[in-house]
């Protein structure tokens, strides 16, 4: 398993959110550098956003979830064009960043 994983659940549908573009960034010297990008599968996951052999440096990271395009494909208007979740990696352990999503709100937590 990759050190960093994510999962998106569309709480309006009660189903995984497939087809969502996600971009991973690392912060260095107050600048954000893109590290990886991918699109969620039918289970709302990107199995290898970061390869399983990659160990991320300690520091600040963010995932940008392109939510407007996800809802627009079903002609659903949404309030947030994207969601950015900023988090701190402090060890080499596994980090799971889940996103619970609907057109007018979202929630996240540190998963396992």
pLDDT of 34 strictly over 90: yes
Query: What class is the 4-108 domain?
Result: mainly beta
User: Is the pLDDT assigned to residue 1 strictly greater than 90?
Assistant: no
Q: What is the DSSP string of 1-36?
A: --SEEEEEEETTTTEE--S-EEEEEEEETTEEEEEE
Return the domain boundaries, the chain: 4-108
Helix (H) or strand (E) holding 70: helix 67-72
Could you report the per-residue pLDDT of 47-106, keeping only the tens digit for each? 899 999 999 999 999 999 999 999 999 999 999 999 999 999 999 999 999 999 999 999
Confidence of residue 9 (pLDDT cuts 50, 70, 90): very high
Q: φ, ψ for residue 67 (rounded to 5)?
A: -80, -30
Sequence-distant (≥ 6) Cβ neighbours of residue 8 within 8 angstroms: 16, 17, 20, 40, 44, 45, 65, 98, 99, 100, 101
């Amino acid at each position: 398993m990759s050190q960093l994983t994510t999962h998106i659940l569309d709480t309006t549908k009660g189903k995984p959110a497939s087809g969502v573009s996600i971009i991973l960034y690392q912060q260095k010297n107050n600048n954000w550098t893109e590290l990886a990008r991918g699109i969620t599968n039918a289970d709302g996951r990107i199995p290898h956003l970061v390869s399983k052999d990659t160990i991320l440096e300690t520091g600040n990271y963010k995932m940008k979830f392109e939510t407007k395009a996800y809802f627009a494909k079903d002609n659903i208007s949404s309030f947030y064009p994207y969601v950015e979740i900023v988090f701190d990696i402090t060890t080499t352990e596994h980090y799971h960043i889940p996103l619970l999503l609907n057109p007018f709100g979202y929630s996240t937590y540190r998963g396992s």
